[in-house]
Amino acid sequence: MKIPFSYSFRNLWTRRLTTILTASGMALVVFVFASVLMLAEGLRKTLVETGSYDNVVVIRKASNSEVMSGVDRLQASVIESQPEIALGENGKRLLAKEIVILVSLSRRGSDKPSLIQLRGVDESSLPLRPQVKLIKGRMPRHGSSEILAASGIARRFKGGGLGETLRFAMRDWTVVGIFDAGNTGYNSEIWGDADQFMQAFRRPVYSSVLFKLRDSPEFQGFKERIESDPRLTLEAKRETRYYTDQSEMMATFLSILGLSLTIIFSLGAVVGAMITMYAAVANRTDEIGTLRALGFQRRNILVAFLIESLLLSLIGGCAGLLFASFMQFLTISTMNWQTFSELAFSFSLTFGIVYKSLLFSLIMGFIGGVLPAFRAAHMNIVDSLRAA
């Protein structure tokens, strides 16, 4: 004979105030847990979606990012001559020699400075990135001090809007176009002519060479040949792998920090659940004695009280996830530790985060309810009825 599931649910409903307060504590913990995972996933997703699997990034060996890389013109010419490079519709090679530099800009509404990534591009840079769309204005003229600003830059930084002027490298640069790159890292960049940036910043080398593969399986052969060439000190990565590497350090830090805070908060939630369940046992000794007298076994009592605790935690977990889901409407910006430039990204809720959060809440409920459930199950029938 088993105790019906509705018994546990009715007991929670009877103690509505206690249920709400305990579930709220668990909801707060799950909210923090889910938000941190969403933050790390949003960062990872933003950087990974920046790259294309068929694009290859060539940078200097041991460079963590394009900012720290250097590819001289001779090396770039060697890369440009490789047979694995795809051809565009105009018959030209889909290859871009780019330069990446950091500049300090002030935010709108304040004078707080942030490091922003400038990308010197050429005519093949846009075809290599189909996710980048020009939404306002026009493309910069080659050889001019004209630039494109990402929509995120235009909104957040002084001088980044269409027709406005930015000053860096002792020159004035006019924003003639605004582009949108969706949920990618490019939406935190400013683009201009690579040759003009090299002259203005007195930098004689490129930061990277980007090209599209003619045939995706040819990547490994190209990588081995380039990295073993004694004339070159370069390494090749698929663009998706390059941006995944960019996200690893910061995403790992966010996850560790968030999990540490969550564990600390969860201790309070578990203690709260335990107190609630102990109080329920103490207030229902006569009820427990009656159930035992009616023939229900100890394990039935144990399971009933555990289900009650798990229901309590599940309610809190669902509430915490509900509030965490609204974080997806927020966009935050922080420094990318690999490039030291600002990166804007959004929280991202995935199925994996949902089930991890609910599982975490159920674990809290189990830990908080198992001892009170054992206490209820091992109560003496005579003592329980006498207390009544």
Q: Which two tokens stand for residue 265?
A: 């908060």
Q: How confident is the model at residue 4 (pLDDT cuts 50, 70, 90)?
A: low
165-172: Cβ within 8 A, 24+ apart: 166/105, 166/190, 168/103, 168/104, 168/118, 168/200, 169/103, 169/197, 169/200, 169/201, 170/200, 171/145, 171/200, 172/145
Residue 291 pLDDT class (50, 70, 90 cuts): low
**What pLDDT sits at residue 33?**
87
- Structure-token match 């490079």, residue found: 85
DSSP conformation letters of 338-359: TT-SEEEEE----HHHHHHHHH
pTM comes to 0.74
Rounded Cα distance, 209 and 224, in Å: 16
Is the pLDDT at 309 greater than 60, yes or no? Answer: yes
Contact residues for 345 (Cβ-Cβ < 8 A; gap 6+): 42, 43, 45, 46, 183, 331, 332, 333
Average pLDDT over residues 138-151: 90
| pLDDT at position 94 over 70 | yes
Mean pLDDT for the chain? 83
3-state DSSP call for residue 134?
A: strand
Give the whole-number percent of the chain exceeding pLDDT 70: 86
Look up tokens 């030209």; give the residue: 92
pLDDT at position 298 is 73
Q: Tokens 């960049």 correspond to what residue?
A: 189
Between 196 and 255, residue with greater pLDDT: 196
Comparison of pLDDT for 48 and 144, the residue scoring more: 144
Asked if pLDDT for residue 373 goes beyond 60, the answer is: yes
What is the reported pLDDT for 107? 86
Place of tokens 């013109």: 73
